[in-house]
Amino acid sequence: MNRDWETLLVEERTDRVVVSLHRPEARNAINARMIDELHDVCALLERDPRLLLLTGHGGVFAGGADIGELLHRGRDEALRGINSRLFERIHRLPMPTVAAVDGWALGGGAELAYACDIRIAGPDARFGNPEAALGILAAAGACWRLRELVGESLAKQVLLAGRVLDAQAALAAGLVIDVVPAPTLPTAAHELLDRMARSSAVALRLTKLVADAPGVHPLADDLAQAVLFEGPDKQERMTRFPAKKESMT
């Protein structure tokens, strides 16, 4: 995508797009410009589905939504769901998304990380939702998405009691897949995407689609599997599998 980015660093690769939140003067706080630019990233990935790696610049993921902008938002802006619409769009991207989190992921920054399919953390990662202390609520997904990710009790500790989850607590809760030393976090995140990239892209897309479908969905399972059973990826990969298995023994 040929454009000038003001709040993001964007790197396009053949099988993935790497996006770093980049507002170092504001701890990568999410402002209206960043929201617009992330919508542009979503549009790119909807047109040309690829894996997404989302990171923060300078040892911070995102210190929350921009308080200066939040202060001036009223009822009409709340009803527009400025942040929540974006985060849901990220959650619904066709290919898997990974958030590599080191440092603070607070408020809207935490909700952005929650919207990704998988999170991996550095040792200094901190997840928190202090919105109630500011007289508002975490209205961009945390009130329901965090409960789905870590369970009701822990979610209420974060949302109501102001608990901040450090990296080890996030790992114990299953919120992150791993905690790795900060210098190796980018490498570990790319290795995770490399692992997914070795899978069939269409199988990943359909698996994510079915996994995100609400409720019990045997019909969706059957329909997705029917598409995959007729595709060339299944034939090629299953034909190769016995030889690959023999080479590993």
Task: Report the catalytic residues.
Answer: 111, 131
Query: Pick from 114, 112, 119: which is nearest to 149 by CA?
Result: 114
Q: Report whether 137 contacts 107 (CB < 8 A).
A: no
Beta-bridge partners for 101 = 121
Angle at 69 between CA 82 and CA 143, to 5 degrees: 45
* Tokens matching residue 114: 């929650």
Q: Report whether 92 contacts 205 (CB < 8 A).
A: no
70 Cβ contact list (under 8 Å, min separation 6): 134, 136
What sign does the CA torsion over 184, 189, 195, 197 have? negative
H or E segment to which residue 21 belongs: strand 16-21
- Give the distance from CA 121 to its chain's centroid: 12
Query: Is 97 in a helix, a strand, or coil?
Result: strand
- Count other C-beta atoms under 10 Å from residue 153's C-beta: 8
